[in-house]
Amino acid sequence: MNPWKVLGIAKIPNNGGELKLSQRAEEFSIRLSGVRGELMNSRVHGSEEALAELSCERLKSVADARVLVGGLGMGFTLAAALKSMPPSAQVTVAELIPEVVEWNRGPLGDCAGQPLHDSRTQVHIGDVTELLINKKPDYDAILLDVDNGPEGLTRDDNHWLYSLEGLNAIYKKLHPEGILAIWSAGPDPLFTIRLKKSRFNVSMHTVRARKGKVSCHTIWLAQKPWRSAEDYR
């Protein structure tokens, strides 16, 4: 069997540890220091694609649709979102770690079909929360895969996104009937309650990590109802 070769190491801000990108033949792996097992693998991406497919399918008919993807990872969610979008769409991907963007422009790019090369893609290098701080509705869909789910694994700062304060901020950034989609390694009933408290209409989906495999992940779809201008005051 071919040995793993380390291609790059990146530090996560605020003492979040290190990410290590490795390659073995055509397979890529990203691991987090201090955590047993892989964070991502290029052969296991079914649920990352489902995150975009479940939320963006309806946007094929939305002129000038705008989508925000929080977390680039190996590019599979971004690629699936672009596949579901019309030519006039724009997809902004926010990635905290510059090296992850460079990996996707380099050795990782072909795994997901080079989504960063798509003219509809814009890259924001920084925390996705930087794009959520004002109350103006900018997006038809917001897709979050920035951590292990509501129970953050890589950064304590990610907890804000899953808090009532963070969810209320996301609510205000969505257009009426906009969709918030969130990836998680597993279910969390308390998080479902928080989404409902934030006025979203919520459904929870269990999807396979990889076709034919038993392991499953959780995706929440939270839709903003049609509301009056009071939502934006």
Say what the pLDDT of residue 134 is. Answer: 81
Q: Are strands 174-184 and 139-144 parallel, antiparallel or unpaired?
A: parallel
Region 91-103 average pLDDT = 97
Helix H, strand E, coil C: the string for 44-80 is ECHHHHHHHHHHHHHHHHCCCCEEEEECCCCCHHHHH
Query: Cβ(170)–Cβ(136) under 8 Å?
Result: no
- Split at pLDDT 50, 70, 90, the class of 147 is confident
Neighbours of 8 (CB within 10 A): 17
Q: Check whether 73 has a pLDDT greater than 90.
A: yes
Q: Considering only CA atoms, which of 69, 160, 74 is closest in space to residue 120?
A: 69
Taking only the tens place, the pLDDT of each residue in 6-64 is: 999 999 988 778 999 999 999 999 999 988 888 899 999 999 999 999 999 889 888 89
Q: What whole-number distance in Å separates Cα of residue 227 and Cα of residue 225?
A: 6
CATH fold of 44-232:
Rossmann fold (3.40.50)
Structure tokens at 186: 């597993």
Structure tokens at 71: 């977390």
Q: Where are the domains of the chain?
A: 44-232
Taking only the tens place, the pLDDT of each residue in 149-206 is: 787 545 456 788 999 999 999 999 999 999 999 999 889 999 999 999 999 999 999 9
Q: What whole-number distance in Å separates Cα of residue 211 and Cα of residue 205?
A: 16
Which three-class secondary structure state does DSSP give residue 154? Answer: coil
Q: Check whether 228 has a pLDDT greater than 50.
A: no
DSSP alpha helices (H): ranges in 65-188? Answer: 76-83, 98-105, 159-162, 164-173
Q: Check whether 229 has a pLDDT greater than 50.
A: no
Region 212-221 average pLDDT = 81
What are φ and ψ of residue 64, in 5° steps? 55, 35
